[in-house]
Structure 1
Amino acid sequence: MRFYINAAPLKEEIEYPTRYQSQNLIKSSFIVFLVIITFLLLFKPFGVYDPELKMHYLFICFFHAFAPALLLFTYFRTLNYFREAKSEFKWTLTQEYSHIGMLLILIGTSSFLMRDLLYTNPDNWSWNYFIEEIRNCLVAGIFFYFFIRLASFYFQSKKGSALVLQFTPLSVEPEKADLKSNLFISTQVKQDDFYLDIEELLFVKADGNYIELTKSKNNQITTEVKRISLSQFESQIIDYPHFFRCHRTYLVNMFKIEKVAGNSQGYILSFNETATKIPVSRKQINSFTTYYQKLGSKYTA
């Protein structure tokens, strides 16, 4: 029997997790500290030999819990600095697992470097102990990572956050599309007014007092910049229910969405015509799911 692993979900773009965002890093680090120190105190793992201890075991647990929490904070704070400096930053599960792996190796290295402070053992600086610290950290770290992920998913689901299980692209029969497609859009400056074929529109991106219109015609993608805010533009297409404000800076044509990927942290929308991905913010997940179902039932009834 042939063994097959579907690696596609590992490469799909997802929204950057809130647990790693700068405003949540102290909370995430504190949770990691509490989980590790509780585990060490309750189970006293990895064959601790009391005569080698230079201090009370409680203090040793504190150092072994504090170092990972501090490294987690420092690592992702640095990553966020570079992330904010880049105009485009994509996040995938592969990247997340890679960063977690690198973080665990750093934590294992820190545990090895602390050995002389904590233990009276002549072999503290041996390769044996270095490999052992890295191994123990990877084993325990992977366990804790997936435990915390499952706990996070549970609490998010209790709040009513949705999980994408299946998505079928919407379709509309021509006879039901009874709204005119050529729409006149007025701006604050009369000479900037313009006509728009609304059925060609894939999505709209806000850029201050301007918007960027991405359209598809005969499988050709075009982009236009117009001097009007996204809110002003949205108010003029209110009669077209298949447009949805999925994010603070994005408005999408629901009929053009080909694929949705993501989880309770946010969705990523994909289109056939372009490789550009559009985020659905975490706050809009429930509204997006409800609106999609409502729109689907309206046009398939």
Structure 2
Amino acid sequence: MPFYINTEHLRNKIEYPKRYQSQNLVKSSVFVFLVILLFLLAFRPFGVYNPELRMHYFFICFLHALAPSLILFVYFGALNYFRQVKNKMQWNLLKEYLYIGILLVFIGISSFLMRDLLYNNPNNWSWDYLFEEIRNCLVAGVFFYFFLRLSNYYLESKKGSPFILQFIPLEVEAKKVALLSNIFISTQVKQDDFNLNIDQLLFVKADGNYIELTKSIGSQTTTEVKRISLTQFESQITDYPHFFRCHRTYLINMFKIKKVSGNSQGYLLSFNETDVKIPVSRKQVESFNTYYQELRSQCIT
């Protein structure tokens, strides 16, 4: 059986994690410091020869926890600066794993450089200890990183969040009854009536007695304004069940959604064709989940 790595999943564009964003860096660094400090004090994971210690073990643990938190703050602070300079360069899992690996190497080097301050050992500056510190940081850091990822997912999803670990985009049903792509929409003013290619429609936004139709035509995304309320428009496309009122001001094409993020307090829907993200209100989260599962089961069958 050949070995396979899902590189497409690793390279897919994802949102830049909140834990690395500038406004959250202090909180993330403090959290890392406290978790590492408590872990070192509780488990003493790496063998320490007491006669070699230059200070009390608590202060050694304090410094070993302080260094990673400071490096994390400076490292991602610099990265955030360059992201702004490059106009928010794209982020994906492969890039995140690479940056975390580099971060762990820096932390290992810092642990090596602190050895002369912490331990009375003539071999502090040996290559063996450099390799050992980097290896220990990589091994412990990988487990620590994935622990934080799982904790972060749990805290973001919160209690009662029913949604999916990985959103799978829907496909148009192969066996569904054929429906016309071009439909005629009637408005209150006859001269404002219009034809619409429903297959091109991504989402509709309400704006008082008007709606904004966002469509994908080839490689271009266009927006048109029409004089009709969203409720009136929705009542005329009931034959197309893949359109869902996810918010009081938004109607979306379920078949065009490529990514869902958020938690039980609300979702954000992403599309390939535009950077605009559409909200699913808190009241509609459960209905959205149910509707998605129904459409998905129809696509599979």
- The answer, yes or no, to whether TM exceeds 0.5 is yes
| 2:149 equivalent in structure 1 | 149
Q: Distance in 2 between matches of 1:90 and 1:22?
A: 16
- 1:24, distance to aligned residue in structure 2 (A): 2.7
Q: Which amino acid aligns with 1:203?
A: L
Equivalent residue for 1:76?
Answer: 76
Query: How far apart are the structure 1 equivalents of 2:277 and 2:204?
Result: 11
8 Å Cα contact 1:14-1:261 kept in structure 2: no
SS of 1:197's partner is strand
TM superposition shift of 1:89: 3.5
Q: Which amino acid is 1:74 matched to?
A: V
Q: Superposed, which structure 2 residues align to 1:36-115 within 5 Å?
A: 36-87=36-87, 89-115=89-115
Contact kept? 1:214, 1:221, Cα under 8 Å: no
Q: 1:165 to 1:151 in 2, by over 3 A?
A: same
Q: Please state how far the C-alpha of 1:81 moved relative to its aligned partner.
A: 3.0
Residues in 2 aligned to 1:245 and 1:96: alpha-carbon distance in whole angstroms: 34
Between the aligned partners of 1:233 and 1:161, the Cα distance in structure 2 is: 32
For residue 101 of structure 2, what is the amino acid of its counterpart? G
Return the offset for 1:200. 4.4
- The gaps in structure 1 that reach 5 residues or longer are 187-192
Q: Deviation digits for residues 70-118 of structure 1, max 9, x if unmatched?
A: 2222222332333344445322111111111111111112112222222
Q: Match of 2:35, as an amino acid?
A: V
**Counterparts of 1:299 and 1:124, CA distance in 2:** 63
Comparing 154-163 with 61-70, greater Cα deviation is found at: 154-163
- The verdict on how the C-alpha distance between 1:296 and 1:53 changes in structure 2, with shifts beyond 3 A counting, is closer
3-state DSSP of counterpart to 1:9: helix
One-letter code aligned to 1:43: F
Q: State the Cα distance separating 1:250 from its structure 2 match.
A: 8.9
* 1:224 has 2:222 as partner: yes
CA distance in 2, matches of 1:158, 1:127: 48
8 Å Cα contact 2:52/2:121 also seen in 1: yes
The C-alpha deviation readout for 1:131-153, integer Å capped at 9, x for no partner, is 21111110110111112222333
> 150-159 or 69-78: which moved more?
150-159
1:22 has 2:34 as partner: no
Distance of 2:231 and 2:83 partners within structure 1:
33
Q: Deviations over 1:206-259 (max 9, x none)?
A: 9xxxx794423xxx333335579xxx9867744457556879x997422344x5
- State the distance in 2 between where 1:138 and 1:3 align: 24
Amino acid at match of 2:161: G
- Which of 181, 184, 208 is matched with 2:183 structurally? 181
1:199 corresponds to which letter in structure 2? I
The CA RMSD over aligned residues, in Å, is 4.4
Who is 1:201 aligned against?
200
Distance between the aligned counterparts of 1:34 and 1:65, measured in 2?
7
Distance 1:48 1:145 in 2: 24
**Shift in Å, 1:161:** 5.2
User: What secondary structure is seen at the aligned counterpart in 1 of 2:143?
Assistant: helix
Q: CA offset at residue 49 of structure 1?
A: 1.8
Give the number of aligned pairs.
283
**More off after superposition, 114-123 vs 159-168:** 159-168
- Unaligned ranges ≥5, structure 2: 206-211
State yes or no: 1:169 paired with 2:171: yes
Q: Distance in 1 between matches of 2:229 and 2:103?
A: 45
Structure 1 length normalisation: TM-score? 0.71
1:269 shift after superposition:
4.7
Contact 1:15 1:279 in 2 (8 A): no
Structure ranking higher on relative contact order (CA contacts 8 Å, 6+ apart) = 1
